Structures are given as structure tokens and as C-alpha cells.
Amino acid sequence: MTTTLSFTHRFQPGSATGAAPLLLLHGTGGDENDLLPLGATLSPGAALLSPRGQVLEHGMPRFFRRLAEGVFDEDDVRRRALELGEFIGEARRHYGIAAPVAVGYSNGANIAAALLLLQPQALAGAVLFRAMVPLNQPPAVKLARTPVLILSGLTDPIVPAANAAKLCNQLIDAGADVTHTTLPTGHQLSQPDIALARDWIAGLPQAMAA
């Protein structure tokens, strides 16, 4: 059932001991239901927390405003990332879960990257599918080897290779433990994306679920 704290969202309790909860962040036009099957595939038995973006673009939910494709309203990015961080805290208290690992696609990956750069304590790690730089001048933060997997598409018409590389370097400079892989695909998810993300999540330390 869809429930509301500060975000409309879906929550599925976990059944696997030691599995880190996943925060599922949809792309433009998605909602709180979109990534639940993906989350269950990536980490069977993990608790799943899936909020709906609160910004509408021509009726399509997003997590922050953009001025054009690939051009973000960075003031809104900052505000919305802080709101999402507050929701994560609410949900952790309400559901009794550990800090989640974000799994974001496109716009959802971008807000997850912004959250890492603005509120590093909110997430235990992140899988970023087709992510771009959300903030050109992020604040100085310490990510203390937070694990991050970035999966880019070689023929992605939306995310330039240089932009994905810049995000990778921003996170490394902040102290994150980043794995960046570029696959021979476009903006959409592929089976290799799913396989790589599943294996990466399975390799996370069990302590992250405590």
C-alpha cells in the first residue's frame, strides 16, 4: 500500500537477515511503484523504501526541477535533496531500518548523487544508473569511503561521457569508494546493468544492514 510521511511512498519490509535496505528512486515520469521489482531482483529479501518525486514536469513526477534537458535548477536540487534526506530520517524512525543504499535511475540517480554530496550521512551507499553531475560546485563533504557504483551507457544520448566522469571524480574527491563502469548500451537499463548491480550489492559489508 502507498503510505505518506513527508513523501508519498511504498515500503516493503525486509525478510533477509543482513541485507541493507534499498532506497529506490525512479526516473522522470515514474512513481513509487516503478522500481520495486528491480529492488527485489537486486537484493532479494531486502527492505524496500520507494518514494515518489514531488516535482511535476508536464504532469510527470521528478525529484527536482530542470531548466532544460541536462540543465538543472541547482537551487531546487539542493532544496529537494535536503527534503529527501529528512524523509529518509523519518522513514528510518518509522520503520526501524538502517541507513539505506540508494538505487537511482536517471533523475533518481541524480538526486541520489546530490544527497551524497549534501547529506553524506543519509545513505550507506548508492547504485547510480545513468547519473549526471547534479551540482557543478558541491560543498566540501567527507564520504568516508561510502561505496558507490555508477553505471553509464556508452551510447547514452542524455548523459555525456565527460559528465559521468566528472561526477565520478567529484565523489572520489569527497572520499567515496567509487566503481564506474560504462556498458555498451544507451540510457535504458540492460540486463548487464542489473547483473552488475546485483553482484555489487551482494558484496557490500553485512554491517551496513545493522
pLDDT tens digit string along 3-13?
778 999 999 99
Query: Would residue 50 show up in a list of annotated catalytic residues for this protein?
Result: no
- The catalytic position among 106, 152, 180, 193 is 106
Domain ranges, residue 204: 2-209
Q: What is the pLDDT of residue 205?
A: 83
Q: What is the CATH number of the domain that holds 59?
A: 3.40.50.1820
Report how far Cα 91 is from the mean position of its chain's Cα atoms: 16
CB atoms within 10 A of CB 136: 9
Q: Reduced to 3 states, what is the DSSP secondary structure of residue 128?
A: strand
Q: What is the pTM of this model?
A: 0.95
Contact 46, 21 (CB under 8 A): yes
Q: How far apart are CA 102 and CA 21, in angstroms?
A: 9
Please give the backbone phi and psi of residue 28, each rounded to the nearest 5 degrees, phi first: -55, 130
pLDDT tens digit string along 98-154?
999 999 999 999 999 999 999 999 999 999 999 999 999 999 899 989 999 999 999
Could you give the percent of the chain with pLDDT greater than 90?
89
- The catalytic position among 26, 156, 180, 193 is 156
Q: How far apart are CA 82 and CA 88, in angstroms?
A: 10
Query: Would residue 156 show up in a list of annotated catalytic residues for this protein?
Result: yes
- The DSSP letter of residue 50 is E
Q: Give the total number of structural domains in the chain.
A: 1
Q: What is the pLDDT of residue 209?
A: 47
